[in-house]
Each structure stands twice: as C-alpha cells, then as structure tokens.
Amino acid sequence: MLASKKNYFASQNCQLLYKILEDDINNRFQTNISNNGNCKQKLQTTMKRLYTENPNTGLIDLNKKTILELAPIFYQMIQTQNVQQLHKIEVDPAKKDSASREREVFSRSLPEFVDLRPQHNTEKLSIESNFEKINQERQPPKAPPTPKFNDTSKGLDQELTPDEMLKQISTLQQQRELDNQKIFPDSKYKESDTPEFKKFQQQLTQFTETQKQLSEKKNLELSQKIEDKAKNTEELLSSTSNGGSIDSNNVESLPVQKNISVQIKPQSSSIDGVLPEMTPGSTEHALLERNMVDRELSSQIYDPKLLQEDQQKFTTDLQNKLDKKDHIHVHEPGDHIQKTSNPTREVKYLLEVNSMDRDITIDPQHRYNFQVSLGSTSDTWKRVALYENSPTVPATKEQAERGERGFNNGGSGWRWGETGEQFPKYDPSKPPGNIVGYESIRENSTRGAKVYRDFKNVSQIELLQLVLPSEFIWDPTRLSDSNADYQNDLLQYPFLLVHIEELDGVYISTNKNVTTAFGKIVFEKDWSSDRSRYRNSFVRFGPSSKEAIKRFIPAPLASLNKLTISLLTPQGQRLRYDNDISPIKNIVFSDPPLSSGILNDADISGNNRFIKITLKEYVNSQMFNNTRKINIREYSTTLDEGEEKTTTLHNFESFIQRDQGHHIITTEASGGASCIANRMVDTIYIQSKGSISRLTGLWESEWSDTEVTSLSGLLEDEDGGGYVYNMTHQCHISFRITQLEEDVSSIPVKMV
C-alpha cells in the first residue's frame, strides 16, 4: 500500500516518529533530544525531502527511512549543542582597553592568608616524661583490686551485723560493676568466662553459706535459751502457787542470769517482769509471747453454745450486707463484657455492592444471589524472572495489571529496557540461560466481589436501599406484541425479603421466612428511559419499616468477613430470571445482515466498522437488545501453533475489554426466525474502534486493512474465552456499617 501524503504528514505519524527517535537516542546514549528545539524542524524538513524523493514508497518503509536517516543527525546535533555550552567563546582580553583591565584586576578580592608553617609545641618536656606518658597510654587499664573478705575485723565464721552485711554485699556489687566495665580484646569473650567473675561467684557463695549457718546456729541457741527461761519461770510460778517459799539457795542454782528480778502476781499468768532485758519487737520477745499465747489457748475451756452464737451472728451480718449491697460487689448483667480503658466512638461506613462484580465461576451465584468478601487480602505483585532465552518478552503495563505475561518472543528478539541489552528470539532447543532481570506481574488474591477494608467491632449493620432492574416477563400465549404483554414481575409481590446468611434475622414473625430475613423491602419508586418492553427500567426498594438494622448488643461483633446476599419472595424462594451473562464462542470483524435494519451503504458496511460476537448459548433478546450496554471480561484469543500474540492483537483485546463497555448495535439468531419469535438470540454486533471524522463526516477506523487482515487470521478459531455481561441489568445494594473505634479526638495535636 502506497503512503498517502495525508497519512505520512499526519500529526499522529509525526509524533510517533519523534517519539521513536527520542526514546531510542535516550536509551542508547542517555541523551534527550527534546532539549534541542531544532530537532522537530529538522524532522519536518527531512520528511518533506524523503516524500519528494520516494513518492511511491509505502508508509512503513518511508517511516523506516526517516528514522534511519534522522537518528545520527539528531545525535550529532545534541552533541554539538553540549560542546558549545561547555566551551563558550570568551572575549579576547587583548581587545579590552587598559581602563577595563585595571578595573577588572583591582576589583578582584585578595585570597585569605593561610599560614603553611609547621606548628611546634613550645612546652618543653623531657624524654623520660614523654616515654612515661606514651607507656601509660599503651598499657591497658588495670583492673581494680579484688576485695579481700578475710581481712575484715570479723571472719567468715563470725556472725555479721545487718550494717556489716549490707556493707559486704555493696562491696561485692561494686566489684562486679567494675568487672563489667573491663574492656576485653576479644568481642566474643563473655563476662561469665572471666576469672574475676568466677572468683566473685565463689566468694559470694561462700559468704552466703557461712551467714546461713551462723543464722541457724544463733536461732538454735536462742530457742534453747528461751525454753530454759520459760521452764525456770514455770517452776517458780508452781512453787509459789503451792504456798511454798522461794529459797535463795534454790534460786541461785537455777540457770538464770543473776540480775533477773521475778515478781509474782496472784492469779496472773503474765511474766512481763521475768525477762526485763528483752527489747520489745525483738526475736526473743516475739517467741516468748507466742509461747505464752499457745499455753493460754490450750488452758481455755470453750463453750459450744458460744461458738454457735458467733457463727449465727456472722451469717446474719453477711445477709444484711448482701441485702444492702454494702461493701460487697454483686455482678450485674453485662459485667462479663471487657471494659477498655480508652474511650470509643462509633464510626459509620457506607458499603455499596454491585452484582456485576460477583464471581461467575461459581454456578449458584446470580445477580439476586451472590457473595461479597470483606477485608480480603489485597492483590500481590509477583516477581517473575526473565532469562536470556525467554519464551516471552517483558509484559506491558496493561498485561501486568491483568496478571498476564508478555507477548511471544519471536521475530527479531527482545530488548531489556533497564540495561538496553538486546537478546535473540526464543529457541526451545536451548536452555533458559542466565537471569537478565525481573518483572512484576499482578496476582489476584480472591475472585468476585470484594472489599479490602476490614470490619471489626461492628456494633450495627443497616440496609439503606436497593436499586433493581425491571424484570419484564413476556407472555408467549398472546398473539399481539404490545407493551401490555410485558409485565414487571418484581411488582407482583407485596414485598421482597433480603437474606444474609452470616447475620441473624431482625424480625419476630409468625412466618419463618420473615423471622430469618435481614430486611423486608417494599416498592418506593421506578424510572425508565422509555416504559416499552425493550427500554431500560429500574425499581427502587426500601425497608418496609423505614429501617432494617441488625444491632449487636451487649458486645459488638468481633469481625465481619463476608456477606452472602440473597433476594427472596415472600414464600422464601430465591429470585431467578434470565441470565445476564453468557460465555463467548468467537469474535470477528463482520457486518450485520440486511435484516437487522443496518443500511447497506459503503460508508456503513465494508470498512471494518462492526465486530460480531457469537455466543455459546442463546440469551433473551429482552436482556440483550440495542438499548443495553455490555461489558466483556476474561477474553483471550486462542493461538494455534506458530502464531504469535502481536501488538495489534494485544490492542484489540484491550479495546474489547475496556471498562466503559460497548453499546449493542443489533442482535441476530443463527437458528432463524423461530428463535427470534421466542425472543432468543445468540449473536451480538458492536461498533469497532474508530470514529466519524469532523472534517469529512465519514467513518474512520483506527485499524488499517492490513491490521484487520492479520487479526482475522488470529481470530478465526471458535474456541475463544471470555464472558459478555449485561451492564445495565444488575442489582445495586447500599449498606451502612457502624463499628467501634478508639476515640482519638482527645489526643492533643501540635499544629505546625
């Protein structure tokens, strides 16, 4: 095909050539040609000259010649510009007048004075002092002397006073701290392996054992002394109570200290004056008092009646306190709920659910019955290695977003953009080779409708409204084909039920279907572009009691992971109408038949304006007609052996699966008029990529005849994947979720 002047000098072609040259020079030499404004002018001049010299050359060949000729010229222009900027021509100083030279010389500032003379220390130090100082610096610091416990006034075999014991322990702790501060030459040397630490542990253990033995010995002696004194006192008391006299000779023979004076009081067991030298609060005094109390208790005679009265009094007092709830905590309902120290606040979130986002690979899921995942794990990006002998080239941004690898590595091979290295095409007979780099490919975590936000500590869930498509049912028994033959089936019920599997019902009803339902909805409003059978029409439903709220009392719901939503009839049956999706059998370039009403005009047909989509099953023409919009998902062309996924095919698949969808131009049934009479079709026509020119008023396709021919060869198979969705026939549900969150409003914020 010869290159027309209009196509060659089109702004898109000029921008494409400039972009190719700019990227190539930048990748090869890290030089940006956009810094030189003369490059674009040179591009236009060269294109005019080459078109004049090669008027019969094709557009692709002419573009190649343009790139090959301009690439070295642009690089030379940039290099020349850089050299001129680095070496600017200055004015010859000889041409300046003498006055100018004098002004220039005297205007220069003098450099600061820098003293380059060596500095000497004026302090006179002797050789001996210098040697001594250096020797001390080189020697490691000496460890402090280990304390000698045997040098104290009292040995280890003598009992220490509390002050002396604290002093000894303090000395040991100080010694340990000094040992910890010691710097060892080996960083792996442990403190517990040092000889000083082992010696310290040995001394501390010996000291502890000695003090323990002395304490036990002292306690034994003290106990024996107290028993002897108590025995002597008891003998004195017994002799006095029998009317006898105390003989001085007998008293002297008792093993009691001579300065003890005993005073006998009639009918008293007190012996406060027996040991006057005991200090109140001492160990001796405490043991003696305990011995006295034990003897007094053993001599008492208890009355069972008094014990019973005391027990009855205790029971009565306890019952009175329980009745008054005084000083005794009584558990109230809700005491088992954990109380947090931080205050909380209620935060409301609006959740919008669209049935089109459901997972269609699960058969039971329908637009009136599907599942929504809450708090789903976000999609991850997987690093995939690229080898020297790679079967695919690096993926484009769109391919990586969809989780796909790049095109097949054929033809002239591929180039790694990060290093600019060129690699040959894939050879299956050779090993993969070395890893050149890595590319990131999206990996979907979960399919279907999902929300990436976690919902925890949920206090309530509220159903706000539902927007449902009108479900017109055609009566085939009527001979006429008027609008009266089509009725909105959703409006034949007094109400509909919303059931959520993960939540209990909010109603108390005689009907079990209402009892288990999350909400009962009624008709509120409808609207339509045209109320005929083939026009888009929608119905809004809302809660019958103006609210459908599930509250979690007394404790909030810990977490909410998913919502399995179903719309039911009052009898508990799930709503089920014609499918709003259909699998794709094949997609090709083709014009609609004359019976569809499309004009057989040269500007309408025969110029790659229409795309034909053949489905694997029949669908209702009420669902798929020329007033509806469709969306195509998961479509991928099946390639035969030897075929490669070209850039043109990639662009075609991206256009087919664009987010804004496609308008249905017309439909057709491969089974003939009988299928159409039953309102069933299996073929859909949409418009190709292009637009009507404002200059000529004619249709202009963005794909050339050559590209369409190559695409037709790749699209000829009838085993393509993907699904057709009816975008305008879906359910939209609105929720309000309230969860408890920590109240941070009281935290002070510093304004910058």
Q: List, for residues 651-660, the tens digit of each pLDDT value.
A: 888 899 898 9
Show the CA angle centred on residue 421, arms to residues 418 and 425, nearest 5°: 115
Cβ count within 10 A of residue 78: 20
Percentage, residues of the chain above pLDDT 90: 14
554, 337 contact by CB (below 8 A) = yes
> What is the rounded radius of gyration, in angstroms, for the C-alpha atoms of the chain?
50
Distance CA 589, CA 545 (A): 54
Beta strands in 424-560 (DSSP E): 435-443, 449-451, 455-469, 472-474, 486-488, 496-500, 519-528, 537-543, 549-551, 557-560
Going from the C-alpha of 355 to that of each of 12, 49, 371, 467, 611, the distances in angstroms are 41, 59, 9, 11, 27
Highest mean pLDDT among 169-183, 257-271, 390-404, 597-611: 390-404
| Bridge partners, residue 414, by sequence | 423
Q: List, for residues 160-178, the tens digit of each pLDDT value.
A: 565 676 677 777 767 666 6
User: Is-cis flag, bond preceding 554, omega within 30?
Assistant: yes
* 84 or 274, which is more confident: 84
Distance CA 463, CA 408 (A): 50
What are the structure tokens assigned to 197, written together?
């630490």
Average pLDDT over residues 713-723: 74
Q: Which amino acid makes up residue 465?
A: Q
pLDDT score at 471: 86
543, 519 contact by CB (below 8 A) = yes
pLDDT score at 694: 87
Distance CA 395, CA 417 (A): 12
Q: Does the pLDDT at position 700 exceed 70?
A: yes
Average pLDDT over residues 60-72: 84
What's the pLDDT band for 262 if we cut at 50, 70, 90? very low
Provide the whole-model pTM: 0.49
Distance CA 194, CA 623 (A): 88
* 604 or 64, which is more confident: 64
Biggest alpha carbon–alpha carbon distance for the chain: 157
pLDDT score at 286: 73
Distance CA 273, CA 250 (A): 19
Instruction: Count CA atoms within 13 Å of residue 141 on its CB side.
Output: 8
Show the CA angle centred on residue 459, arms to residues 454 and 461, nearest 5°: 75
Distance CA 166, CA 404 (A): 76
645, 408 contact by CB (below 8 A) = yes
What are the structure tokens assigned to 54, written together?
């090669």
